Amino acid sequence: MILNGIGQRIYADRQKLIEDFSTYDLREGEFGNMWFVTAIGTLIINMDRTLKVIPNYKKQEWKGVIEKQDYAGVFEFCFWRFGEYITIVVDDKLPTKNNKLLFCQSETREVFWCGLLEKAYAKVYGDYESLANGDAIDALVDFTGGVAERINLRDVNLKDEKRRATLFGKLKADRINEALIICYIQCIPEERGKELPQGFVLGHGYSITDFKEIINDKTQEKGQGSSKLLMIRLANPWVKDEWNGPWSAKSKEWQKLDPSLEAELQFSKDKGEFWMVFDDFLNHLTNVDICHIVKSSNEFKLHSEWTGRSGGCDYSSQSFLSNRQFIIEIHQDEDELHVSLEQHDIQPNKSHTGRTLNTIGYSVMKVAENRMYRLHIPGKLIEKPDMIKTRSVFGKTVLSRGRYVIIPCTKDQKEHGPFLLRLYTHGKANVWELTEEGPSTIWPCLSLPSMVTTLAVLSLEKIEKPEGSKDEDFTPKIVVQCEGEKVVSKIPLELNEKNEWETKSDFEHVKVTFYRKKPNQPIIIEVFNSNKIFDDFCCQARVIDNGGEEGTSIKCDVFGRKKEKYTKKSGFIHVFVQSSPDLQFL
């Protein structure tokens, strides 16, 4: 193997070192790196992103210098790595054998940008050998700073037509939002490169470039079944091998297409593009990987590490809550949370490191509205860990107002290593790590609380609007108070068959935790009717029972306040209360 300076031994013309970007002018090298060809072939679809990876490319170009002697023979590339962008500089020498490039290269002899990009990427990992078993979606994350979502089509129940339509709509929306999407047929390493009868090649990745939902009136007129077609366009960076089934370039389906729709289904055979019906796509492809370019209003990046205190992934085990805990507080009534959990790359084939990729996942739990310390008993599970042995995992979930704890975890307690947790929301939110187990003090004159109490408001029953309320609607909120601390939350009500106000069936319990120095004092729950100017007081309940460590459900009578403090009013408040003198019990 010889490292030749480009233009010295390989080619004399250096006119297009990093110019003439083309998605469909690529091929893998002698040692096989199909995944990298897939990654850069997909990247080039978004030229804005490409020019961030290769900054100031015109100034770096051979013909961009003022005079020939100004050419420095070095090139600059930019990659996103574990939460930050890094700059990599390489020279113009590429590995060759018998004057032929060994790794990623262009079909055009004088174009070298893909080989230089691969060399810079190999430098990030240490050497070319480290790229032997790479993953295209991970490379796209490194190129763009996006987040990776992996969909195994065999794990999704696609027999239902509505599920198929939902998946089609999701992928189409992701593409509109400038996500980079690839698909492939999963196979064992020994089968990579094998061509299937339908034209697909095992191990090759295909870029998804467009989605169309069309109504083919010509088909309907001939009585040939449903006229609605869900179409997906793929692009093959290798150009020569492509789909040969229905809606392929020479298929008879094009003759049945209404001429007015031809403009909707444009494709370039020279660029390896082809259309498929979405059902055929689902029947033949096994995996879809999506690199989301997240455009949420808020991004939170948290670096941490799985260490000796890692607790595994079994939500029901006592060790689970020894994992790292991160809290997110949602301020909107409803918001969509995007979660990306990423671990550092550790190549499985490098046995001398003594490490492999961890099997990772995360859980999301609803916790008390005023949670300040680490959890010691599980909260309400919103999303359970979906454990995958991969560099990163991704998920979305819609959350209502309140606080939630996110717990990144590994499958085995012995799996350690650094990780990056990225959270995205559309509305305002706060995020921080829970590190303290409970209240503490370094001052002898300050006493610690003697009891921790968790109270959950389960429902309101037959609560009436206050007399004289001018507001026709009843939009109550509750205020839970204990020793000067208060928590405010909304309570959605609806009228039942008896025209009585009761809590909606989908009501999310309001949960609060207090660390109490005076446990004999009651916890006060007040109900108000929310108005634009002044809130109308409805009633209050006083919770005296502490519930014990097992906890107990209580049906609380409600009363007035001040002069009506002992006047019983209509309705009840149902709560669950649990307490312990051990401040790290709850």
Helix (H, G, I), strand (E, B) or coil at 492: coil
- Could you tell me how far CA 576 lies from the centroid of its own chain? 34
> Has 204 been annotated as catalytic?
yes
C-alpha radius of gyration, the chain, whole number: 30
Residues belonging to the chain: 586
Amino acid identity at 107: E
**Strands 359-366, 287-292: parallel, antiparallel or unpaired by DSSP?**
unpaired
Q: What is the 3-state secondary structure (H, E, C) of 305-326?
A: EECCCCCCCCCCCCCHHHCCEE
Q: Which helix (H) or strand (E) holds 123?
A: helix 113-125
Choose, from 204, 323, 338, 358, the residue flagged as catalytic.
204
8 A C-beta contact, residue 53 and residue 143: yes
Report the distance separating Cα 60 and Cα 116, nearest Å: 12
Three-state DSSP class for 194? coil
Q: Which amino acid is at 21?
A: F
| Spatial distance between the Cα atoms of 238 and 273, rounded to a whole number of angstroms | 10
Please pick, among 236, 323, 529, 546, the residue that the annotation labels catalytic.
236
For the record, the structure tokens of 339 come out as 């979660």
Residue with tokens 């990427």: 121
CA dihedral 555, 560, 564, 566 (to 10 degrees): 10
Tokens of 534: 């002044």
CA–CA separation, 237 vs 106, rounded Å? Answer: 11
Residue 31 CA to residue 363 CA, distance in Å, equals: 40
**CA angle at residue 142 from 240 to 47, to 5 degrees?**
55
Task: Enumerate helices (H) and strands (E) in the chain, giving the number of each.
Answer: 8, 31
Region label for 98, one of left (φ > 0), alpha (ψ between -120 and 50) or beta (otherwise): left
Q: What's the 3-state SS for 68-93?
A: HHHCCCEEEEEEEECCEEEEEEEECE
- Angle between helix 34-43 and 136-144 (nearest 10): 40
Q: What's phi and psi for 167, nearest 5 deg?
A: -65, -40
Catalytic status, residue 426: no
Question: CA-to-CA distance for 105 and 30, rounded, in angstroms?
Answer: 10
Q: Report the alpha-carbon distance of residue 488 to residue 486 in Å, rounded.
A: 7
Helix, strand or coil for residue 506? coil
Active site residues: 204, 236
